[in-house]
Every structure is written in structure tokens, then in C-alpha cells.
Amino acid sequence: MKRLLPLLLIPAAVFAGEFSYSLTTAAADYLEREIEPGEDHFASVAGPFNGAKAATTFNAKYTIPTPLGAHWLVKDANVELTGSFELSPLSIRPQLKAEFTPVPFLVFGAGGSVGTGWNPLGFDGMSVYNFSKQEYEALTPFAHYYYDLWASATFQFDVGALVPGDWTHVVMLATYQWIYKGITGVDDGDIWEWQVIPGEANGWQYYVTGVLGYKMPLVLQMVGFMAEFYGHFDRSDFDKGIRKTGKTFDGEFMWIDLSLLLDFKLNDKNGLKTLFTIEGDRSFATPHEKSSEEPLLVKTGREWSFYRIALIWDHKF
């Protein structure tokens, strides 16, 4: 009977869960940079606008208490199941994820999404690269679908847990995510664009995030630094372009985004985050003006630029 007791408690824990609902709206302005050929360098800002992205996501979360014992370290263990629906001017995308927090400083997650996009007014929601025409061509919405599957592990820690006080909250977070991204009806090795981000291809990728911040009992509740590192594991994901051109787009290139993060708590139900981002993108040997030329060029270094200003508004119902 003692062995069966934990199994008998599982249904009770599931029904003891709680629902919560939220709405997240994110918008970003991508600045125009003065593209320069060569090795590692910093590019100057050429204009205030080189593209924009905006999306609203409705989230429904169900939190299931799963205490692993009476000890303070495991008594608040839980599982969170979240269903989301993202809507933007360029796409729609349902999403599902599950997260397990066995101890306060570890979170394990898995999830996926599927969506489709369109290309209004010259903005690329979903398109594939045509090497012959040297341009991205729109894919038919609801005939092609973007999809991703992922798993992640997160370490998070707040110094305030060891040193109580209003001004002792130095927070740290590090996440490693394994993710497969693809578009249906697109050949492996093709290069495609999703939600105005070009230069992608079907394949396994990694996404690493690190945050170091200082939390305060103010409206501006946190000032932090965020670093993001992401790319493909295998350069062969871009094989089609290499076979056609004989040139290396460097499929294993690692993007680096470095951001100043400001987190405002407006009230109990509303929060606003702002990001000011510098990005390290590919630099090429040949001068060019458009991103649609880049799959035909040879990567020679890294070009840093002031890349993005983003706002993220969170509302809890």
C-alpha cells in the first residue's frame, strides 16, 4: 500500500492545479546598419528603420503542485502546462510547452509550435530563397507550415534567497535549448525566412541565454544584461546553397546578441520590458546592400551593430 500511495496521489495533484491567463505583446524595431565587407568590425547605424516585428500571444497556464517531500528545497516542486496562441500581422502560431521545476533553481522544459505566414506589403512572413533569382519568394500560407520542437534546461538563482532584504536581489539565469526548426514542403538545404528573419534552414539548432540582473523594490524592478548565442549544429543544413554556388555561407556560424534589459513593474497585473541590443552577425568579403544577396557570398568575419530596440508588455488576467 505504501508503494501505491504516491500513484494514488497523482490524480489528486492534477485536480489541485490552478489556471492562470496572460497576454504578451512584443514589438521590435530593427535599425538599418552601414554594411561593410571585411573581417571583424563594428558597423555604424545608417537609419532608424530596417524592419519591424510585432506579435501578441495569449497564454493559458495550468500549474500542478508536485511536492517531492517536506523539505523546503522540494516542497514547492511543480509542473506547468502552457498552451499559447500567437498572432502577428505576418503569421499565426499555436504553441504548447511543459515545464518541471523540481527545485527552485532548476527548470526542465519541452515544447513545440506550428504556424503559417504570409507576406503583406513587402514584409516576409514566410518565404524560401531562390538562388537563380537571388531573392526570397513567398510561400503559400496554409500550404506550408513553420514548425519547431525543443527541449531546455534552465538554472536560475537569486542571491536574495541567501541574504534576505529588499536590496539584496542579484539574479542569475542560464538556459540551454535544443531546438529543431523547419518549414514543410521546403527541401533540406534550402534557405528560408520566417517572421522577417532571413538566412534560416531546416535543422537542429541551439539557443543559449544568460541573464545577470539586479532587482529593486521600485517601478524599475530590474536592470540587467542579457547575452544570447544561437546557431545550427551542422553546416550541412545549408548544403543546397553550397552545392549551387561553391561558396561557404558558414552554416555553423553562431549569432551573438548582447542586450541591456530594463524590467518595469507597472502594477500587479502589468509589466513592461525593454531591450537595447547589439548583434554580432556575419561579415562578408563582398560589398552588398540586401540580405537577399548574402547566401551567395563568402563569410569572412563578424559584423557588430546596434541591432534592435524591443518592447515586451505582459498582462495578467
- The Cα–Cα gap between 218 and 170 comes to 15
- Residue given cell 522540494 in the structure block: 74
**pLDDT tens per residue across span 126-176:** 999 998 888 999 999 999 999 999 999 999 999 998 999 999 999 999 999
CB distance 105 to 171 below 8 Å: no
Q: Which amino acid is at 44?
A: S
Half-sphere exposure of 49 (CA within 13 A, CB side): 3
**Cell numbers of 139, please?**
510561400
Domain ranges of the chain: 5-316
- The full DSSP string for 44-62 is PEEEEEEEEEEEEEEEEEE
Predicted TM-score (pTM) of the model is 0.91
- Band of the pLDDT at 46, cuts 50, 70, 90? confident
Q: Identify the CATH class of 5-316.
A: mainly beta
**pLDDT tens per residue across span 211-245:** 999 999 999 999 999 999 999 999 889 877 666 66
pLDDT of the residue at 5 = 45
94: nearest Cα among 145, 141, 139: 145
Per-residue pLDDT averaged across 80-86, rounded?
98
CB distance 81 to 64 below 8 Å: yes
